[in-house]
A and B are shown apart, each in its own frame.
Chain A
Amino acid sequence: QKEVEQNSGPLSVPEGAIASLNCTYSDRVSQSFFWYRQYSGKSPELIMSIYSNGDKEDGRFTAQLNKASQYVSLLIRDSQPSDSATYLCAPERGKLIFGQGTELSVKP
């Protein structure tokens, strides 16, 4: 079992829709969780951090964390073509452990 698994892409949604990105992790030690966005040819950019169970909202982005289920998700509301990128989930356990990423494509 991989340490971090993300839903395989590519995920295609129409402009204005909600994009749902999921991530499961294998350990019960991680306490901090991060979502990064990576455009093609660029470096990862931190978009959300979450530390407690429940939801955390920041603009069009909502992160959800359920430590008991070892699950973290990212919802992007009112998706825009500029949101088209690869989204990386990264639990922290003394270091960041990255999933393989989910490629999101938002079609105009």
Chain B
Amino acid sequence: KAGVTQTPRYLIKTRGQQVTLSCSPISGHRSVSWYQQTPGQGLQFLFEYFSETQRNKGNFPGRFSGRQFSNSRSEMNVSTLELGDSALYLCASSLSPSGSSGGSEQFFGPGTRLTVL
């Protein structure tokens, strides 16, 4: 079974631009979560989607948004990029959403490395 895929793998943008990252979950997984990883802050939760609905959102500004499509693929968008948005953005999928009694184990994709200049 194919794992979680993320595109693009690497991205260089300049301040003020916007970016869209894509995530395709493991086949059959309906929950997708997004995380930001930086050396200083570690892994931080951005948001989770299940059945096209945002179930939970982390403590990030409104410039960070996401959506999920009917085939469970997800995208996240960052508008008006800032230097501090440079990070590894990770997507993880699971059978069931967080907090479920089973099937909530999350499997990560390879990530998108975003550099903002």
Same complex for A and B? Answer yes
Tell me the A residues contacting B by CB distance below 8 Å. 32, 34, 36, 42-46, 49, 88, 92-101
Main secondary structure of the interface of A (DSSP, over half): loop
Given known contacts A34-B106, A44-B108, A49-B105, A98 and B43 CB-to-CB distance under 8 angstroms? yes
Which one of A44, A46, A92 contacts B99 once the chains associate, using CB atoms below 8 Å?
A: A92
The 17 listed contacts between A and B (C-beta, < 8 Å) are A32-B104, A34-B105, A42-B110, A43-B111, A44-B43, A46-B106, A88-B43, A92-B98, A92-B104, A94-B98, A95-B45, A95-B56, A96-B35, A96-B92, A96-B106, A97-B45, A99-B42
Q: Are B99 and A96 in contact (CB-based, < 8 A)?
A: no
Given known contacts A34-B105, A43-B111, A46-B107, A96 and B45 CB-to-CB distance under 8 angstroms? yes
B101: min CB distance to chain A, Å:
9
For B97, give the chain A residue with the smallest CB separation.
A94
For B88, give the chain A residue with the smallest CB separation.
A43
A103 to B108, CA, bound (A): 19
A52: min CB distance to chain B, Å:
12
Nearest 5 pairs of A and B residues by beta carbon:
A98-B43, A43-B108, A95-B45, A100-B42, A43-B111
A88 to B42, CA, bound (A): 10
Which one of B33, B88, B108 contacts A45 once the chains associate, using CB atoms below 8 Å?
A: B108
Main secondary structure of the interface of B (DSSP, over half): strand
Q: What is the size category of the interface that chain B forms with chain A?
A: 20 to 34
Q: Does B109 sit within 8 A of A, measured CB to CB?
A: yes
Q: A44-B108, A98-B44 are in contact. List 16 more A-B contacts (CB 8 A).
A: A34-B105, A34-B106, A43-B88, A43-B111, A49-B105, A88-B43, A92-B99, A92-B104, A94-B55, A95-B33, A95-B48, A96-B43, A96-B45, A96-B92, A98-B43, A101-B42
A32 to B94, CA, bound (A): 14
A86: min CB distance to chain B, Å:
10
Q: Are B99 and A94 in contact (CB-based, < 8 A)?
A: yes
Q: Does B90 sit within 8 A of A, measured CB to CB?
A: yes
Q: Does B8 sit within 8 A of A, measured CB to CB?
A: no
A45 to B110, CA, bound (A): 10
Q: Does B28 sit within 8 A of A, measured CB to CB?
A: no
